[in-house]
Amino acid sequence: MRWGYVINVTGLLVFFTGLTMAAPVGVSIFYRDAGFVPLAVSAAVTLLSGAILHWAFRGAKADVLTQREGMAIVAACWAAAGLFGALPFYLGLDVSFVDAVFESVSGFTTTGSSILTDIESVPRGLLAWRSFIQWLGGMGIIVLSIAILPFLKVGGMQLYKAEVPTPVPDRLRPRIRDTAKVLWKVYAIFTLLQVALLAAGGMGLFDAVCHAFTTMPTGGFSTWNASVRHFDSVYFDVVFIAFMLMAGINFTLHYQFLKGQPLAFWRDSECRFFLAIVLVFTLVVTWDIYGAVYDRIDHALRYAA
């Protein structure tokens, strides 16, 4: 195990995590909220830490990355992302560091659990960061790094295998870096489409972006205490349901569909099984709550879905 190279790459990805904090810093500046200082300090600490780690082990090289080293890098990067991603919450909210780490890890892993009890009192910059880390975690920070960081061309396949929870990842392009780019492009396109649909329905741009960021990774973070129930809109519910369903399907199938293969979903046995499960359980839950909770069948179907 070449630990020097593992730390070198981890430092690079920590630095990249610091760069991603720039967007929520901009949100805090725009809204002039109390999230600016904790976000700016967190970004500075994360950038400096990543730069030091990468520079300290700059001499470590690896022409070929083993699967074991790939697993070590992915594990180290996810742990580092959870820790550094917690800094804005720890510095900007009245929470312990353990709770801040819980919130951060819940975001990056798209678990959706939260320690926050009054979300509406949280500065918008921190809410933007909270939504953004779910979006980053949805497709995977390692996959994103492979796509945009040329330094990770060596060992990209090993990192991809360690990151993606499938025995053999689907290659859409000869080079794994290009495959990662394709997946993130599809992910970004769907996110922008959902933002547009939510905004067209009357949702504010900030809420639309944050909810699109948490719908596509199927995470569920919201900017309101009542979550999406706050909007009380059939239109918004339909949009959320549609994109949650799309997000649960293998993104390589979406790409194949967009490239002119309309039967890509039907030919995939995993997709057929997934859709069948969703349909069956939606009908079962609808039947269970109709009459007992909701008097109208359309309301029962809406909330079951």
Domains in the chain, number: 1
Residues 259-289: b if buried by 16+ CB within 10 A, e if exposed? eeeeebbeebeebeebbeeeeeeeeeebeee
Q: Is residue 281 part of a domain?
A: no
Residue 94's pLDDT is 93
- Per residue in 210-262, pLDDT (tens digit) is 999 999 999 999 999 999 999 999 999 999 999 999 999 988 888 888 888 88
Residue 23's pLDDT is 94
Closest CA to 278 of 235, 249, 236, 239: 249
Contact residues for 202 (Cβ-Cβ < 8 A; gap 6+): none
Q: Residue 223 is part of which domain span?
A: 3-267
Q: Is residue 254 part of a domain?
A: yes
Q: Is residue 192 part of a domain?
A: yes
Q: Is residue 133 part of a domain?
A: yes
Full DSSP string of 261-297: -TTHHHH-HHHHHHHHHHHHHHHHHHHHHBTTTBSSH
pTM of the complete model: 0.86
Full DSSP string of 82-114: HHHHTHHHHHHSS--HHHHHHHHHHHHTT----
Residues of the chain where predicted confidence (pLDDT) is lower than 50: 154, 166-169
The Cα–Cα gap between 240 and 220 comes to: 10
Q: Is residue 279 part of a domain?
A: no
- Which amino acid, residue 231? F
Residue 254's pLDDT is 87
Two tokens at 204?
């504010």
Residue 28's pLDDT is 97
Residue 167's pLDDT is 44
Two tokens at 200?
């067209």
SS3 label, residue 248: coil
Residue 141's pLDDT is 65
Residue 231's pLDDT is 94
SS3 label, residue 193: helix
Instruction: Note every long-range contact of 219-222, with CB atoms under 8 Å and residues 24 or more positions apart, other chains counting.
Output: 219/107, 219/110, 219/111, 219/112, 219/134, 219/137, 219/138, 220/112, 221/107, 221/112, 221/114, 221/130, 221/131, 221/134, 222/119
Residue 285's pLDDT is 94
Q: Is residue 298 part of a domain?
A: no
Residue 304's pLDDT is 86
The Cα–Cα gap between 40 and 43 comes to: 5
Q: How many Å separate Cα 26 from the centre of its chain?
A: 19
Two tokens at 257?
């569909």
Q: Is residue 276 part of a domain?
A: no
Residue 169's pLDDT is 45
CB 42: neighbour CB atoms within 10 A? Answer: 26
Q: Is residue 17 part of a domain?
A: yes
